[in-house]
Amino acid sequence: SFEVELRRSGATMTVPPDRTILEVVREAVPEAMSSCEEGFCGTCETKVLEGIPEHHDTILSPAEREKGKTMMICVGRSKTPRLVLDL
């Protein structure tokens, strides 16, 4: 598991292996937008402020993946113990 800090909302929560970041985020931000929830539509794209995302979407380019400044939180996870999101 890893932690996500939602910087604008001021919440920090734990994402266990069996839940998505989106599911966990919705506990603090019920209006978080999504559509496909499978990593191909781009609706849930979220800015990453700190930490290194682990991408599992099929939208971002190799350059965007490398930069790690944005991610699809419906399928993405974290390579670092903590991820700070612009939510």
- Report the interface residues with ligand FES, using CB under 6 A: 34-37, 39-44, 57, 72, 74
Residue 46 near residue 87 (C-beta atoms within 8 A): yes
Structure tokens at 32: 């978080």
Judged by beta carbon, residue 10 or residue 30, the one nearer ligand FES is 30
Nearest distance from C-beta of residue 19 to ligand FES, angstroms = 15
Nearest distance from C-beta of residue 42 to ligand FES, angstroms = 5
State the distance between the two ends of the chain, measured CA to CA, in whole angstroms.
20
Nearest distance from C-beta of residue 76 to ligand FES, angstroms = 8
Judged by beta carbon, residue 23 or residue 37, the one nearer ligand FES is 37
| CA proximity to 21, closest of 78, 60, 80 | 78
Judged by beta carbon, residue 42 or residue 68, the one nearer ligand FES is 42
Residue 72 near residue 45 (C-beta atoms within 8 A): yes
